[in-house]
Structure 1
């Protein structure tokens, strides 16, 4: 995957867009005479699974809300593939048959959806790749810098391991091999960990599944023994949950440092009680806003030059107009300054009765 960044002026434009400052432009574009909401087309949103909570709880409502703000006459069709590429192909076909004007697609399998994306192009329906870069003639791409996600995880793991990190054994619990993001995260993490720790075992996690992660971690424990595992690089929070459940079942009394990603509510709580050292927060609203802006522009037949800040090459398509956003590490020290400040969760949602003492100790409830 290769990206090229454009000039400072264009980056400033997208910063304004993602912050929500494009309303005046959007309203003017909705009607040629400056009257808002006079165009109407449907945007199809296709998300990959329900295993990762963010898709249904954050991305879907945020994209729908921003689409309405940018184009009040637009509607949204929604489908979730539940980790089934065949189902997602059928969902794409159904949406094209219904006459959607543009698709926002987070591919359940980025290679398997290639023919469907080609079919969408043949039908005159542009496709925005969301979060994962699917193969085929993609018109736009919105995601986060995956290498930076991995670097943040690797850096946090080394910090948590402290003086014991040098030469210690780390287990790599990678994401789903059908997702190009999984390789991106792994490469970023290895750029930090290589030469500093020994990678004792490395596993791919089909479907980003907690159950599959549990099985893989159980295998690592059997192969290495709990005393030899100094840390676990878990690619996301669902995987981290499986790792932790396997360690507890072993039983391992003192958990090694474990990373995560996606800022799931359960993961934030695990961080507070010390079961997980960090998660990577990818501000969902910024990603959703950029995808909605791309979809509305494409639905109106406009170019993405005022939206994209860079270009990306996929294995099949060059120079895809792209927005790559910056992820942030979340630890117990900055929960208030990240997911709480951005309105992802409230303190009351995080600090239920079970977690109140830990929240008090962490200074979250003062």
Structure 2
């Protein structure tokens, strides 16, 4: 009886610990299955795409390609130290391939090196992490910035002059993509407008809102002709600040084609976003992961080579981004079934949707 009671208590504790692990650190996608286990580490849960699209699409594609594979998942919740611990945990679990979108591409280098030293292969996903990664999957991020900059100029029209003052809110410097977006945007904008205020919004709507408020104070509300925002999340905070300052009708860019961003485009408070189709990216990462897991060649998949911040030459697969404005919502995010008309055109946006031909 005593042994039975101990067993029951131990079993209950095991269930309790498992449940706590699932809720606390978001590592919940199955147990290790030796050579058939893949780790997926995403950087944050604030950016809508990761939990809503990247994770489920990646897991579904892995299952399609390898029915007996399991995916162990964790989200860093914007904490670089936590992500480093998650890499170590994945290695301890025995995963053979880790797919990681780095919260901090430089800080994760030693963790990636430690994983590779244990025989684990690492794929950099969406952001090019430093260290000995086997492959990288993303979009042409300089092109993303160029598309953003060009969309801003197009929306400004005749007001796009070398004297027109533009506010530029970039992403987090810890994300190597942010520097590429910035580079591409400058390539499109430099010499054509006056970038009168430029700061990092750290990928946070609240920080971007603060920086926009500071820009208004510094430049004057009537003197701002357009705003470059590196993504839709920050654009949300910026749009709120602009409205609060009584500023309307000026172009505002974004990126990621978040639902809220698409709705702002419909309503006219954001002029554009950049659509980086999540499914092709997640599918590509899953195919690379399974190939590496099964010791298959990846040369036909990763046909380009990029150099990371640590100087490593990385086989890369780069996909093509698309600029989205009010004119092509139907032909992009709706056509690809990212969102339905019903999801976009909620009652608050019904009138604007009708005017935009979204019915």
TM-score by length of 1: 0.87
The answer on 1:94 being equivalent to 2:68 is no
Alignment-derived partner of residue 290 in structure 1: 284
> Match for 1:117 among 101, 112, 115?
112
- Contact kept in structure 1, 2:132 and 2:312, CA below 8 Å: no
Report the alpha carbon displacement of residue 251 of structure 1 after superposing the two structures with TM.
2.9
Q: State how far apart, in whole Å, the 1-side matches of 2:268 and 2:299 are.
A: 45
The answer on 1:307 being equivalent to 2:307 is no
User: SS where residue 40 of structure 2 aligns?
Assistant: strand
Q: State how far apart, in whole Å, the 2-side matches of 1:39 and 1:121 are.
A: 16
Alignment-derived partner of residue 18 in structure 1: none
Report the alpha carbon displacement of residue 247 of structure 1 after superposing the two structures with TM.
1.1
> Match for 1:199 among 190, 195, 198?
195
Alignment-derived partner of residue 43 in structure 2: 48
The answer on 1:144 being equivalent to 2:144 is no
Alignment-derived partner of residue 223 in structure 1: 218
Alignment-derived partner of residue 79 in structure 1: 74
Report the alpha carbon displacement of residue 164 of structure 1 after superposing the two structures with TM.
1.0
Over 6 Å off, 4+ runs: none
Report the alpha carbon displacement of residue 306 of structure 1 after superposing the two structures with TM.
2.4
How do 1:212-361 residues align onto structure 2 when only pairs under 5 Å count? 212-252=207-247, 254-361=248-355
Quote the RMSD (CA, aligned, Å). Answer: 1.2
Q: State how far apart, in whole Å, the 2-side matches of 1:278 and 1:225 are.
A: 24
> Match for 1:185 among 181, 187, 205?
181
Unaligned runs of 5+ in 2: 1-32
Q: CA offsets, 1:258-283, max 9 Å, x none?
A: 00000000000000010000100001
Q: State how far apart, in whole Å, the 2-side matches of 1:305 and 1:70 are.
A: 18
Q: CA offsets, 1:148-202, max 9 Å, x none?
A: 1111111111111111110200011000010111110011011111111001110
Q: State how far apart, in whole Å, the 1-side matches of 2:336 and 2:356 are.
A: 19
Q: State how far apart, in whole Å, the 1-side matches of 2:309 and 2:214 are.
A: 33
Report the alpha carbon displacement of residue 255 of structure 1 after superposing the two structures with TM.
3.7
Q: State how far apart, in whole Å, the 2-side matches of 1:225 and 1:351 are.
A: 34
Q: CA offsets, 1:43-72, max 9 Å, x none?
A: 100000111100100100100000001101
Alignment-derived partner of residue 65 in structure 2: 70
- Contact kept in structure 2, 1:40 and 1:75, CA below 8 Å: no
Q: State how far apart, in whole Å, the 2-side matches of 1:361 and 1:251 are.
A: 24
Q: State how far apart, in whole Å, the 2-side matches of 1:139 and 1:170 are.
A: 40
Q: CA offsets, 1:63-113, max 9 Å, x none?
A: 000000110110001111011000001111111101111000000000000
Q: State how far apart, in whole Å, the 1-side matches of 2:286 and 2:71 are.
A: 11
Q: State how far apart, in whole Å, the 2-side matches of 1:343 and 1:100 are.
A: 33
> Match for 2:164 among 148, 155, 168?
168
Unaligned runs of 5+ in 1: 1-37
- Contact kept in structure 2, 1:177 and 1:205, CA below 8 Å: no
User: SS where residue 298 of structure 1 aligns?
Assistant: helix
RCO higher in structure (CA 8 A, sep ≥6): 1
Alignment-derived partner of residue 61 in structure 1: 56
Asked which structure has the greater CA Rg, the reply is 2
Q: State how far apart, in whole Å, the 2-side matches of 1:76 and 1:180 are.
A: 26
Aligned residues: 326
